[in-house]
Structure formats: structure tokens, C-alpha cells
A = this chain, B = another copy of it.
Amino acid sequence: MTGPAFDDPAQVTFEKIQNAARLIKGAVLETPCLPAPRLSQLTGADVYVKYENMQVTGAFKERGALVKLSSLTEAEQARGVIAVSAGNHAQGVAYHAGRLGIPATIVMPVLTPFVKIAATRDYGAEVVLAGNTLAEAKEEADRLAAEKNLVWVHPYDDPHVIHGQGTIAIEMLAQQPDLEVLVVPIGGGGLISGIATAAKALKPSIEVIGVETTLYPGMWGAFYGKEVVCEGATIAEGIAVRDIGRLTTAVVRERVDDILLVSETDIERAINAYLTMLRTIAEGAGAAGLAALLSEPERFQAKRVGLVLCGGNIDPRLLSKIVVRELARDGRLVSIRIDTPDRPGVLGEIATVIGDMQGNVVDVEHHRLFLNVPAKGATLDVTFEAFDRPHGERIVSALRERGFVVRYLEIGERMD
């Protein structure tokens, strides 16, 4: 008996995605897909958001994990499963394995953030910390899988997993049948492989566009036949994948229309827009679709676009840094450095000028130790809120007119 080649896209079918949709009903949330008028105003497209960050574990990964777990024989379920992940896949497998009473071992790199380890343990999985990278963790997982005869749950390169992720498209087109374009983040390619398969079957005219970060353009390289380098620290670690799937690559080549690359800055802007305009939390990977709209708005102009907000697991302190950086980029939070004579009353004078013009001082730092400061002088870093950029500039002009030497500090240049 010869099965299909591992990377034959014919293995991934709409019929199996429909079966997966029936299977997960009631166990995985049918998340809302709602119009987002404020994002429409921001981008010029007619934007709809599929809130996969509202899943129990905060990400879509539950769908594929549950379909895979359900496909196992009783004997396999009794032996248990193993997965390597520092992120959403870990929690998706742990949660549904826990629900179904299947023993799950999750191998994570030793430097995985505490909160992710704790969440995975809380769902009932055994967490093994091994290696400094995912590749090293994978080595330990290979050893454990062989030793204990565990079943692998791959995060993307598995037809069952892809069929599970594809259920998102069935829901989206039932909830918003008029969608014309779906914009889908790509890590290993499981999500977009499932979505493209189901969406094109349901509505052949629909466009399916993938998004990767410029730092990890693996699927883009495969799609366009270019050599690429995948490296660097990205805010979208959920799609920072070096080894894209073989099966997913075949499916993407056959069924996806295009792949766009987005910058870190666009991803930050998108996270901020979700937070401040939609009051919802997107992790970097989850915001990649919106980042594509911000980066190439003309391409999506006036089209009905469905964004898959695929995950919301981001460190809240990172989130707050992003918000502050966006305020600074918009000119609504202004940081300046003022060289002052070190005498009483100077701070009061500066604060009064800013306050009288309705600037709102939020932070002051006073330094006397810098080597470039005259021994009798000091520098003062002042951060204040302004209505907008021109308002902030008027305040700075007023300070200069009073004789102060003022320069703008760049984002990240302040001492903190």
C-alpha cells in the first residue's frame, strides 16, 4: 500500500476541514468575526476581524491540536503525546490533551518565560525544559518520544493540524459571507494552508494573502523562489519560523495568492491599534495581518478584508512599552533634554512654561553626573503629553524663547 507523498497538497481537502469543523464544535469556541469601523477608517479598507485571541488559550492553535489528538487510536492516546513549543501550540496541545485525559509532554527551551511554562503546566501537561533553542529542545523531545513511544503533535506540518486550522475559514465565511480578501499570518504555514483550502472551496473568487515579518520570510522565499535569511529578534515570535513545513509549502504554492512582508514598526503600530481602537490584545503574530494593511493600504482600498487575529499572548509589560513608543511616534508624548544651570528654581520655571501651555508633564529625570555636563550644570530630561505634534513643538519653542537649550530625545534614548 502506497500512500500519497508527504508533501502532496491533495492530502488537504475541504471535505476533511468540514469534518474537522463538526468534530471541534462545542470544544473549541466559534469566535466572533465582527466589523471594525475604526480600523476601516485607519486603513481605507472595509475591515472585519476574526477574534481567535478569544480562545481559552488565547490562540487558534487549539483547533489543529484537537483534530490531531482526536485522530489517534486508543492505544496511542493511552501512551500519550509530545510536542515542542515555547508558545501557543504548547498551550493548545496541553489544554485539549488535559480535557481528553491524554498524557502530554511539552518540551520547552530553558529560557521560556515563566508565564508560558506555568500556563502549560496549569492545563495538566508535563513540561520538560531542555536546550537553549527550539532546535535543541527538539533533540531532547526526539529522545523522549523514542524512549516512551509518544506520538508527535507537529505544530503545522500535519494534515490533521491543517484541517483543524482551516475551520476558521468556514466560520468566517458563514459569519461574513461578503469578505473579498483574507489576510493570514504565516509561521510554519499551517493556518494559511487550512484557510486557503476551505475559503477557495467555499468562494473561489476570494483572495488569500499571507503575511510574514521581513526578518523571517521563509514562505515568501519558497513562494517566489528566492534565497532568504531568517534571523533576528522580532516582536512576532509566533511567526518567527526558520523551518517552514514541506506539506504547507506545497499547499501555499498551489492555493495562496500572494505573500506580503511587514516591518517590526508596522507590527507595533498594529498591536497598538488593536489595543487602543478595538480594546483587544494582539500578540505580534496576531497583529501581522493588520500590519500588512497599514504597510500597503492602497492594495486593500475599499475591499472587504477579513483579518485573522490569530493570537493574543503577549507580555503585558511589552504591550505597555509599545503603547508609549506609539505615543512618541505620533508626537503626543514628547521627551526633551534640557541643559540647565544647576540653581534652585529652574525646574519650576520649565514646568510652569509647559503647564501654562497645557502640556502635561509625566516624567522628569535630573542628571548631574554625565561627563558631558559642566561641573556646575545639570541636564534635565522631561517627558510631557501634548495634544499633537504641533502643540508639542509650540511648547519646545516657548522653552527655547526663554533661553533654554533644548533637544528632542529619540525613542529609547531616555535613561529608562
Give every chain B residue within 8 A of A276 (Cβ-Cβ).
Answer: 316
Binds B, one of A53-61, A177-185, A195-203, A295-303: A53-61
The B-contacting residues of A in range 39-61, CB under 8 angstroms, are: 53-54, 56, 58
The B-contacting residues of A in range 314-341, CB under 8 angstroms, are: 316-317, 319-320, 323-324, 332
CB atoms of A114 and B320 under 8 A apart: no
8 Å CB contact of A54 from B29, B34, B58, B387: B34
B-contact 0/1 string along A257-293, CB 8 Å cutoff: 0000000000000000001101111000000000000
Count identical subunits in the complex: 2
CB atoms of A317 and B324 under 8 A apart: yes
CB atoms of A279 and B34 under 8 A apart: no
A28 to chain B, nearest CB (A): 12
Give the interface size bracket for A toward B.
20 to 34
Give every chain B residue within 8 A of A386 (Cβ-Cβ).
Answer: 114
A9 within 8 A of B: no
8 Å CB contact of A32 from B32, B317, B324: B32
A380 to chain B, nearest CB (A): 17
Give every chain B residue within 8 A of A323 (Cβ-Cβ).
Answer: 316-317, 320
A56 to chain B, nearest CB (A): 5
9 tightest CB-CB pairs across the interface, nearest first? Answer: A320-B320, A279-B312, A279-B281, A316-B323, A32-B32, A53-B279, A37-B56, A58-B279, A114-B387
